[in-house]
A and B are shown apart, each in its own frame.
Chain A
Amino acid sequence: MREQRLLGLNGDEAAAYAIKQVNPDVVAAYPITPQTIIVERFSEYVADGLVDTEFVAVESEHSAMSCCIGAAAAGARAFTATAANGLALMWEMLYIAASLRLPIVMAVVNRALSAPINIHNDHSDSMGARDSGWIQIYCENSQEVYDACVEAWRIGEHLDVQLPVMVCLDGFTLSHTMENVQTLSDEAVREFVGERPYIKVQGHLGEAEFRLDPENPLTMGPLDLYDFYFEHKMHQVEAMEKALKAMPQVDEEYAELSGRGYQLLHPYEMEDAEVALIGLGSTMGTVRYVVDRLRRRGVKAGMMKMRVFRPFPAEQLIELLKDVEVVGVLDKAMSFGAPGGPLYEELRTIFYDAGRQPLIVDYVYGLGGRDTPPRLIEEAFEGLMEAKRRGEVVERLNFLGVRW
């Protein structure tokens, strides 16, 4: 394990600091609350000559993602960061980045989508982008943000994967809250991320590295109708499957370097848990605190933190949750008109034919940054225990912390 330095960083600063150490070729970004600090800090690094990065101050998020796509297609390492409406403005380009298989890294500082306008945290922005073909990592604290911003390059650029990666961090709760963060040296980070590797493809003049090079021309993503489009989508299906295997490999290497290993899922007190909550992001810190409190009272409560939502680690989840009696899902986004939130729907889907399944209850919570104190998490656990007593779920879809 390498020597590390303890810094006081908020989530945004942790992202900017990690990206400074990675020293990407291009950063194209447009500031938007609560992501702004990332862009500010990084432009300071550029102004101070601490990085070799070409910083492009674009006029919109659509341009930011377009710029990253162009840079990554030319073989560069490209980074951007955004939030909420900025991510929404990138929409069409998100799909293009993923289907052209460009390993761009983007920090998404999760914020509620308008209207009404709201700058605070929920997951409606990145959950809406869950089908765009990007890998999604959700962070619980600033340390995880730092580590994910280093690891993301190796995950996205892995030769079996070649996909863009979103590092999602909760707006304000993480982005503006200073925490202790263990950081590696610049050398250790640069050694870990190395140079971007390229897959080999057939270009117009024979075998070529997968990047736009006038000396060895190739065409990326031209017209592709009913006779080929479907086949190219299969490549993306396969890449996501392979990412499930590649991510733990990269993680193991990172753990050797930093002493911090993450994996796809973080079970907590799950060995004998009868009731458990599953969710993503910073709220899981509160859930862990409540689990400890309930355990002291003799309640067999547990928690399953999902670090990675795309690809969805279905098999592992079935294995880890099949013996729990009642699972509550914490969804920080609502899919209007759907049976429940996005995590709830996927969790119920994977258990449909799993043979053995827990009762599953959805708790949509925290929309627009609505505070979620331990009291509310306890309320959710009480609901789970009630379902356990009855042996059935009364209300499948619940709204935690809303006024009636």
Chain B
Amino acid sequence: MTEAKPGWRELPFGAVPYKPSLEYHTGDWGVERPDFDLEKCTRCTLCHFYCPEGAIGFDAGYPEVDLRFCKGCGICANECPVEAIRMVRKG
């Protein structure tokens, strides 16, 4: 609640958000983040598809997490078939 928020007459109509979700960094809700063991990773991409936030992308075929949007839920670690993901404290 630090920023000054627009009044009702300035807000877009129809409950359309006044800024896109890309500008709303939900990653700061989370306590943990995934830590990838690239030695074990088989590049199967399951973590990417299971991530409910779409926060896992790829760098040269290996997973990479966008911490601006990772809420630390641990679904990727749970689903990884080769146990290449470990959840660690953020920060």
Contacts and interface: CB of A to CB of B under 8 A. Distances in A.
**Interface residues of chain B: helix, strand, loop or mixed (majority):** loop
A100 interface: yes
A201 B15 contact: no
A232 B1 contact: no
Nearest to B14: A101
A232 B15 CA distance: 6
B16 A218 contact: yes
A199 B7 contact: no
Contacts of A222: 15, 17, 21
A220 B16 contact: yes
Contacts of B5: 227-228
Contacts of B20: 204, 219
Nearest to B6: A231
B13 to A, nearest CB: 6
Nearest to A224: B15
A65 B31 CA distance: 39
A199 B14 contact: yes
A210 B17 contact: no
B49 interface: no
Given A227-B5, A232-B8, A235-B8, A210 B15 contact: no
A202 interface: yes
Tier of interface size on chain A: 20 to 34
A220 B22 CA distance: 15
A128 interface: no
B38 interface: no
Contacts of B13: 101, 162, 199, 201, 210, 235
B11 interface: yes
B18 interface: yes
A220 B1 contact: no
| Interface hub of A100, A162, A221, A232 (most chain B Cβ within 10 A) | A232
B11 A210 contact: no
A203 interface: yes
B15 A221 contact: yes
A230 B22 CA distance: 24
A231 B12 CA distance: 10
Nearest to A232: B15
A201 B18 CA distance: 10
B8 A162 contact: no
Contacts of B14: 100-101, 162, 199, 201, 210, 220-221, 235
A210 B14 CA distance: 8
Interface in B48-76: none
A201 to B, nearest CB: 5
A99 interface: yes
A119 B7 CA distance: 46
Nearest to A230: B8
A100 B22 CA distance: 22
A99 B14 CA distance: 7
Interface string B9-38: 001111111101110000000000000000
Contact of A100 (B6, B8, B15, B17): B15
Contacts of B22: 204
A231 B11 contact: yes
A163 to B, nearest CB: 11
A235 B18 CA distance: 14
A211 to B, nearest CB: 10
Contacts of A227: 1, 5
A234 interface: yes
A199 B15 CA distance: 13
| Interface hub of A100, A220, A231 (most chain B Cβ within 10 A) | A231
A203 B12 CA distance: 9
A100 to B, nearest CB: 6
Interface in A17-60: none
A219 B13 CA distance: 12
B17 A219 contact: yes
12 contacts: A101-B14, A199-B14, A204-B20, A210-B16, A219-B16, A219-B21, A220-B16, A222-B15, A222-B17, A224-B15, A230-B8, A235-B13
For the complex of A and B, 8 pairs with smallest distance between CB atoms: A231-B8, A234-B8, A204-B20, A101-B14, A221-B15, A201-B12, A201-B16, A232-B15
Given A210-B13, A218-B16, A235-B13, 9 more contacts: A101-B13, A101-B14, A201-B12, A202-B16, A210-B16, A219-B20, A220-B16, A227-B5, A228-B5
